[in-house]
């Protein structure tokens, strides 16, 4: 799943330097690489970017998304901390570019080859999505394919912060599980939000029904992604959000990492880059492993894993990669059903077995259901309740889903709240270190500050999926309106500290067009957690997702057209 303002918060003395994107248009002909001549739509012309100190800074806009020749990396490509670190240590002395230097100064002739070869690689290796201009591309596989938006070269990222983010994943996994068991905490924390937010209210109603039934989820599976940005002002890694439902791009993110390794293996000498500094990405195989282990715990060899999907899904191939690995590596079958189809075809037997379309469902894996748009009628809500009432393993359960709301994120950041759920002081300190400022709108002083300096804050509603956050002058306007109205709607939002990441020069490729621009990135770390009663079967960091967008963009969704998939180059 698993999402600025135009005003940039910079010191008054900051100098202004103008830049503009260079664009490469790639033709659809089969011209060989050696003769391939992209068309430049415009010369290198200005597009304002603001500099502060020696490097670019631009305020945070959170990014929510709506991938070697093999989709499953080998053991030599394991993430740092999970595989062979000796290669990385050796590679550090070979090529460690400054921030963004890997994307600067690429000769035009080499750039043409890189773009051409990258587009061929994407087409041959399944780094694809449905083409929005083709009507059936979101419903019928094989129709209207186009390469997924991607960064031509991986984004430099400091290895120390990378390791920090990876180490946090198992702690957040455990925290989600602990919080999910405290039904009173979830209900109390979201009680005011429920009164004014119908969607959160419906989720809480289902949760209440499960509490009334004393419904126990003995087998609990979480496939999470925690998203971070590196703040240039404080040199701290801050969490943007924790996604507990529909953490997407497990399949395609692996392919992007392999694309970058492939390009650097071929052109690394000219680029002065070393492919060993691109960490391997195992998330698709690790997520498949987690689903397979959950299926095994259910202990019914004829049962299936059911993906709950949207009726139209241009990102279906990311999901299919996971299902292919699940089938080919673990022998587990999967089916795809929309919420409406589950309502029409589903039933729960007296013993709690979930049957959909005549098949027993062992694991329900949600790739939909996180947005009000996924529930256009009562049919979809009936399907959600039906699944929760069953003994199928839900990923996520309604409790896990609620833990991922913005309000719970803000509650957990309050003093002494983490201690309610975790005992290890070191783990608590690590989590607190990555928390950005988070406040409810009951905090009068913070609201006043946000009205006076809206560029320093982000106003967040209880929504997933991107395009929902509020920035800049709109923060001031909405806060003033809500205060004047004395509206209960205040409870639907939280305020978050604005993060100011460093921007780097990058080449962003979308629909065969390569744009050179200054960009910022958001790092997502995937985690998997599986528990059967008191036994923790899996609690691991599984891989990563880097999303990059032009620094002037207010939004960051890949599927929505704002961001691209990226990889990491450890520095």
pLDDT tens-digit map of 342-360 = 999 999 999 999 999 999 9
User: Catalytic site residue 22?
Assistant: no
> How far apart (Å, rounded) are the C-alpha atoms in residues 506 and 514?
10
Decide: helix, strand or coil at residue 225. Answer: strand
504-522 residue pLDDT tens: 999 999 999 999 999 999 9
> How far apart (Å, rounded) are the C-alpha atoms in residues 489 and 487?
5
User: Catalytic site residue 406?
Assistant: yes
Question: For residue 555, what pLDDT is reported?
Answer: 52
**Burial readout 164-189 (b: 16 or more C-beta within 10 A, e: otherwise):** bbbebbbbbbbbbbbbbeeeebbeeb
User: Catalytic site residue 465?
Assistant: yes
- Tell whether pTM > 0.75: yes
Nearest to 408 by CA among 135, 199, 176: 176
The answer to whether 331 and 302 are in contact (CB under 8 A) is no
> How far apart (Å, rounded) are the C-alpha atoms in residues 501 and 504?
10
Decide: helix, strand or coil at residue 195. Answer: helix
Question: For residue 84, what pLDDT is reported?
Answer: 31
The stretches of 130-249 forming alpha helices (DSSP H) are: 159-180, 183-189, 191-196, 198-212
The stretches of 346-419 forming alpha helices (DSSP H) are: 378-389, 398-403, 406-412
Burial of 76 (0-12, 13-18, 19+ CB in 10 A): exposed
Average pLDDT for runs of 10 along the chain of length 571: 34 30 40 36 27 35 38 33 34 37 67 97 98 95 97 96 98 98 97 92 98 96 98 95 96 98 95 96 98 98 98 97 98 98 98 98 98 97 98 98 95 96 98 95 90 91 74 91 81 90 93 92 98 98 96 58 89 95
Question: For residue 492, what pLDDT is reported?
Answer: 83
User: Catalytic site residue 425?
Assistant: no
Can you give the C-alpha Rg of the chain in angstroms? 23
User: Catalytic site residue 243?
Assistant: yes
Catalytic residue among 460, 472, 521, 567: 460
> How far apart (Å, rounded) are the C-alpha atoms in residues 532 and 547?
34
Known binding-site residue numbers for Mg(2+): 241, 243, 464
User: Catalytic site residue 532?
Assistant: no
User: Catalytic site residue 547?
Assistant: yes
Rounded to a whole number, what is the distance in angstroms from the first to the last CA of the chain?
Answer: 28
Burial of 512 (0-12, 13-18, 19+ CB in 10 A): middle
Question: For residue 177, what pLDDT is reported?
Answer: 98
Question: For residue 490, what pLDDT is reported?
Answer: 79
Question: For residue 487, what pLDDT is reported?
Answer: 72
147-178 residue pLDDT tens: 999 999 999 999 999 999 999 999 999 999 99
Catalytic residue among 465, 524, 527, 543: 465
The answer to whether 72 and 284 are in contact (CB under 8 A) is yes
Question: For residue 462, what pLDDT is reported?
Answer: 78
Known binding-site residue numbers: 225, 241, 243, 245-248, 313-315, 319, 367-370, 406, 460-469, 471, 496-499, 522, 547, 549, 555, 558-559
Question: What is the DSSP code (8-state) at residue 466?
Answer: S
User: Catalytic site residue 328?
Assistant: no
User: Catalytic site residue 241?
Assistant: yes
Catalytic residue among 217, 222, 547, 556: 547
Mean pLDDT for the chain? 83
> How far apart (Å, rounded) are the C-alpha atoms in residues 72 and 284?
7
Catalytic residue among 293, 337, 406, 407: 406
């Amino acid at each position: 799943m698993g999402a600025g303002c135009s005003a940039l918060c910079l010191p008054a003395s900051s100098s202004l330097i103008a830049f503009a994107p260079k664009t490469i248009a790639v033709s659809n002909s089969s011209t060989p690489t050696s003769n391939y001549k992209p068309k430049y739509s415009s010369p290198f012309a200005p597009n304002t970017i603001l500099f502060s100190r020696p490097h670019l800074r631009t305020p945070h806009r959170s990014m929510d998304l709506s991938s070697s020749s093999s989709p499953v990396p080998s053991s030599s490509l394991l993430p740092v901390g999970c595989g062979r670190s000796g290669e990385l240590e050796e590679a550090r002395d070979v090529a460690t570019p400054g921030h963004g230097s890997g994307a600067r100064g690429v000769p035009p002739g080499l750039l043409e080859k890189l773009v051409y070869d990258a587009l061929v690689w994407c087409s041959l290796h399944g780094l694809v999505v449905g083409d929005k201009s083709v009507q059936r591309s979101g419903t019928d596989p094989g129709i209207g394919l186009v390469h997924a938006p991607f960064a031509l070269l991986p984004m430099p990222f400091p290895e120390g912060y990378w390791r920090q983010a990876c180490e946090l994943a198992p702690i957040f996994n455990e925290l989600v599980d602990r919080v999910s068991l405290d039904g009173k905490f979830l209900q109390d924390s979201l009680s005011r939000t429920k009164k004014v937010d119908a969607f959160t209210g419906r989720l809480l109603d289902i949760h209440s029904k499960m509490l009334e039934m004393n419904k126990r989820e003995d087998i609990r599976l979480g496939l999470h992604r925690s998203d971070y940005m590196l703040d240039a002002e404080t040199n701290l890694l801050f969490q943007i959000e924790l996604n507990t439902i529909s953490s997407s791009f497990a399949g395609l993110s692996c392919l992007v990492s392999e694309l970058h390794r492939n390009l650097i293996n071929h052109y690394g000498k000219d680029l002065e880059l070393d492919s060993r500094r691109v960490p391997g990405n195992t998330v698709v195989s690790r997520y498949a492993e987690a689903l397979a282990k959950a299926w095994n715990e259910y202990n019914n060899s004829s049962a299936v894993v059911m993906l709950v999907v949207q009726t139209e899904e241009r990102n279906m191939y990311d999901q299919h990669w996971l299902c292919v690995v699940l089938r080919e590596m673990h022998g587990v079958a999967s089916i795809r059903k929309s919420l409406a189809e589950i309502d029409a075809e589903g039933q729960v037997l007296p013993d709690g077995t979930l049957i959909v379309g005549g098949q027993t469902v062992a694991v329900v894996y949600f790739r939909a259901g996180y947005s009000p748009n996924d529930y256009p009628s009562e049919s979809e809500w009936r399907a959600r309740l039906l699944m929760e009432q069953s003994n199928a393993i839900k990923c996520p359960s309604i409790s896990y889903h609620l833990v991922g709301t913005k309000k719970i994120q803000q509650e957990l950041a309050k003093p002494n709240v983490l201690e309610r759920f975790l005992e290890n002081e070191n783990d608590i300190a690590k989590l607190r270190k990555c928390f950005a400022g988070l406040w409810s709108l009951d905090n009068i002083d913070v609201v006043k500050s946000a009205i006076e300096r809206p560029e320093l804050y982000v106003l967040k509603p209880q929504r997933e999926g991107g395009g929902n956050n509020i920035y800049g002058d709109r923060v001031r306007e909405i806060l003033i309106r809500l205060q004047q109205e004395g509206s209960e709607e205040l409870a639907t939002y939280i305020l978050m500290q604005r993060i100011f990441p460093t921007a780097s020069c990058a080449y962003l490729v979308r629909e065969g067009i390569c744009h050179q621009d200054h960009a910022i990135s958001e790092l997502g770390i995937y985690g998997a957690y599986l528990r059967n009663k008191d036994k923790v079967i899996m609690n691991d960091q599984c891989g990563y997702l880097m999303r990059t967008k032009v620094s002037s963009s207010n939004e960051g969704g890949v599927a929505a057209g704002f961001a691209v998939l990226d990889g990491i180059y450890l520095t």
